[in-house]
Amino acid sequence: MAGLGYRKLGRTSSQRKALLRNQVTNLIYHGKIRTTETKAKEVRKIAEKLIALAVKEKDNFVEETVTQKVPKKTADGKRVKSVVDGKKVTEFEEITKNIKKDNSSRLHARRKMLEVLYPVKEVPTEAAGKKANTKNVDLVEKLFDEIAPKYADRNGGYTRIVKIGPRKGDAAEEVIIELV
């Protein structure tokens, strides 16, 4: 069979897309995953493109100082309210903070990454089972800030596939794919 340019992995296109997105997301989150050889080769294609994009756009932003109105809060995190004309009104204070403002090509890169990556929630170990303490992990920021600087002087080849032998159930060739 020649021509396609990608492997079908015995799935419908929607299942295949979901599977590959999931594996790429986990590869970037954990740094390495264990999977079959054919899946790893497909995952590598996508992951390498994302990392290349991150490397290209990692410094393409401007630092800006902005003033922001935020509600005043008490020590236990409740909003401070005062009564004005018989109405309860939240009190605000102005703070200044530095933000990174993406240039247009970096913004485009960010959105391209979000097309592939699934949202990841991190559950702290001590609060397992509690919904309130989970926090969203920004994998795009991780790509820009942690992964891209490591590969800045490297031209491609950001992942490595290591064979670990056949799987017990169906003897499929298993590999570990990891970020180099």
Pair of tokens at residue 72: 């005043």
Query: Do the beta carbons of residue 89 and residue 141 sit within 8 Å?
Result: no
What are the residues facing 99 on neighbouring strands? 64
Q: Residue range 7-28: average pLDDT?
A: 95
Overall average pLDDT of the 34-49 stretch = 95
The residue assigned the tokens 């670990």 is 164
* Tokens of residue 117, six digits: 């990556």
Closest listed residue to residue 140, CA positions, set 116, 123, 166: 116
Please give the mean pLDDT across all residues of the chain: 89
The angle at the Cα of 15, spanning 13 to 20, to the nearest 5 degrees, equals 95
The pLDDT value recorded for residue 19 is 96
Q: Please determine, for residue 55, whether its predicted confidence score (pLDDT) is greater than 90.
A: yes
CB 176 within 8 A of CB 161: yes
Residue whose tokens read 């992995």: 9
The string of pLDDT tens digits covering residues 63-95 is 889 998 888 888 787 888 888 888 888 888 888
Spatial distance between the Cα atoms of 40 and 162, rounded to a whole number of angstroms = 10
Residue 65 structure tokens: 């100082």
Q: Can you give the pLDDT at residue 128?
A: 65
pLDDT over 70 at 96, yes or no:
yes
Q: How confident is the model at residue 7 (pLDDT cuts 50, 70, 90)?
A: very high
Nearest-10 crossing angle of helices 37-57, 104-116: 160
Report the distance separating Cα 110 and Cα 28, nearest Å: 15
Model confidence pLDDT, tens digit, residues 122-180: 877 776 666 677 788 899 999 999 999 999 899 989 999 999 999 999 999 999 999 98
